[in-house]
Amino acid sequence: MSTTNPASAAAAYGSTVRALPSLESSARPMGPNFSELVEKAGRSALDTMYKAEGQTAKAAAGQAPDITEVVTAISNAEVTLQTVVAIRDRVVQAYNEIMRMPI
């Protein structure tokens, strides 16, 4: 039967911990965080909507240089709105699933 000195065991644990990489250096994000991605996507969607609104206002005032630009802007806005609604539906669905989980 071998006996272990508590001091040597503590020293061994201490040297093992010092040999491990620090959590701070390994936890650095590689790119933008989630909130930045969501903010960027939201701003992009709003820019698309504002562009379509501006093109529609120009067309209504008779100042639109080309009807193709108006139709393209409206089509882009429609696709953007459908995407935003689909994302919102998935977020609500995920939230509801989380709320149904037992504690």
Q: What is the mean pLDDT of the chain?
A: 85
Examine residue 4 and state whether it is found in any structural domain, yes or no: no
Residue 10: pLDDT above 80?
A: no
At residue 6 the predicted structure's pLDDT band, cuts being 50, 70 and 90, is: confident
pLDDT above 70 (res 25):
no
pLDDT, residue 28, reads 64
Residue-wise pLDDT for 64-79, tens only, equals: 778 899 999 999 999 9
72 lies in some domain? yes
State the Cα–Cα distance between residues 17 and 5, nearest whole angstrom: 19
1: in domain = no
Query: What domain range includes position 36?
Result: 32-100
Residue 73 maps to a domain: yes
Domain total of the chain: 1
Q: Is the pTM of this model over 0.75?
A: no
Cα separation, 42 vs 77, whole angstroms:
13
